Amino acid sequence: MKKIILGLLVFGLTIPTFAQDVEQLAEVWIIATNYKYLSGTDAEDEALPVELLQRKVATYDIKSSDIYDDEYDHYEVAFYIPEGKILAAYDKDGKVLRTVEKFKNVKLPVAVSRSIQKRFPGWTVTKDVYLVNYNDKSGKAKKMYKLRLENGDKLIKVKTDDEGKFL
């Protein structure tokens, strides 16, 4: 009997310590103005530097920029990292209209690597350039890899799309 009473006493004293005060938070609006750009350039196994710079382009606020002026209809902004660069055109509301992107020596997607190994066994990729052209009208990005392959003293250059199809 003592154990039950002691247990209820301990239980009764610990319950109020877990009570929480509920505070009303301010309302937050999230507007995805460049969701089309992100979905148009998105790939399953995109290289990390490419993905990070594309997210930077999508979240860039042109209205808070020093170059913003109500008189202009569109703006061109360049983004640089050591692995590549993106030149993006924005409208006056901050929507991405088009981009030209170039990245050097980034991780190749699995589909491209498999395609190279299948068609050129024994060859190694020594240099690659990843090019992306996005246009808002189509909502899609054209992606291409320019690859330099070597096998001993032999050298060839090939082009593929992001699915590994040779161009």
Is 3 a residue whose pLDDT tops 80?
A: no
pLDDT over 70 percentage in the chain: 84
What is the pLDDT averaged over residues 145-166? 92
Residue 116: per-residue pLDDT? 93
Where along the chain do its domains lie? 33-161
pLDDT confidence of residue 6:
67
- Mean pLDDT within 46-58: 87
pLDDT for the residue numbered 31: 63
pLDDT in tens, 139-151: 888 999 999 999 9
For the question of whether the overall pTM of this predicted structure is more than 0.85, the answer is no
Residue tagged 């170059």 (tokens): 67
| CA distances (Å), origin 4, targets 12, 18, 51, 76 | 12, 22, 60, 74
CA distance 130 to 107: 10
